[in-house]
Amino acid sequence: MMKINLLPSEYRKAERTPFIILLPILAGLICVLSAGAVAGYVKFSWRAEVEAERVQLQGQMRQKQPRLNYNASLLKEEAEYKKQAETISKIASSRILMTKKLDELCNLIAEGDAGQHGGYMVWVEQLKTKPAKRKRGRKKKGPQPAGELSFSGYVLANNAPLQDFNRFHRAIKDSEMYREQFMGINDPKGSVTEFTDDKVPTKGWSFALSADMTDPAEIMKTRAKKRLEAKKEARRKRK
Partner 1 sequence: MIKLNLNRKKKAWLIAGVSFVMVLGCAGVVWTDHGAIEEEQSRIGKLKSEILSADATIAKIKTVEDRVLSERVRVKEYTKILPLDKDINNFVDRITEFEAAAKVEISTLDDKSARNRNKKKSKDAFIRIGYKMNVTATIGQLLEFMHLFESYDRFVTVKEFNIKGANPVELADGTLIPARHGVGLTLETYVYKPTNAMKQPVKIVNADERMLGISESLGLAKGLELDAYAYEERPNRRDPFSNPRHLIEEQTGSGEGAEIAEQEEVLDELVTEFNAIREQLKSETKEEDLVVKYELSRRLDARLGELRDRVTALDIDKFFSSPEARQRYRREVGDPLSELLKERLGADLELMPLDEVKSQYTRMQDSFDKEQFTDTIALGQTLMKSRVEGMPDELNEAFEEVLALIERAQIRIDFDQIEMVFNGLVVPGGDESKSIVIINGRAYSPGDEYAEGLTVKEVRSSGIRFLYRGERITRTLD
Residue of the chain from 6, 12, 123, 138 that contacts partner 1 (CB under 8 A): 123
Residue of the chain from 81, 160, 174, 232 that contacts partner 1 (CB under 8 A): 81
Q: If binding is defined by CB under 8 A, does position 125 make contact with partner 1?
A: yes
Shorter beta-carbon distance to partner 1: residue 177 or 183: 177
The interface with partner 1 within residues 165-194 (CB under 8 A) comprises none
Q: Any residues with CB less than 8 A from the CB of 122 and at least 6 apart, and which?
A: 109, 112, 153, 154, 155, 156, 168
Piece in contact with partner 1 (CB under 8 A), picked from 7-15, 33-41, 133-141, 171-179: 33-41
Alpha carbons 182 and 216: distance in angstroms, whole number: 10
Identify whether 161 is preceded by a cis peptide bond (ω within 30 of 0): no
Alpha carbons 146 and 132: distance in angstroms, whole number: 5
Q: If binding is defined by CB under 8 A, does position 47 make contact with partner 1?
A: yes
How many residues make contact with partner 1 (CB under 8 A)? 99
Q: Are 193 and 154 in contact (CB under 8 A)?
A: yes
Q: If binding is defined by CB under 8 A, does position 224 make contact with partner 1?
A: no
Q: Are 165 and 122 in contact (CB under 8 A)?
A: no
Q: If binding is defined by CB under 8 A, does position 23 make contact with partner 1?
A: yes
Shortest Å, Cβ 135 to partner 1: 18
Piece in contact with partner 1 (CB under 8 A), picked from 8-16, 108-116, 134-142, 170-178: 108-116
Question: What Rg value do the Cα atoms of the chain yield, rounded?
Answer: 49
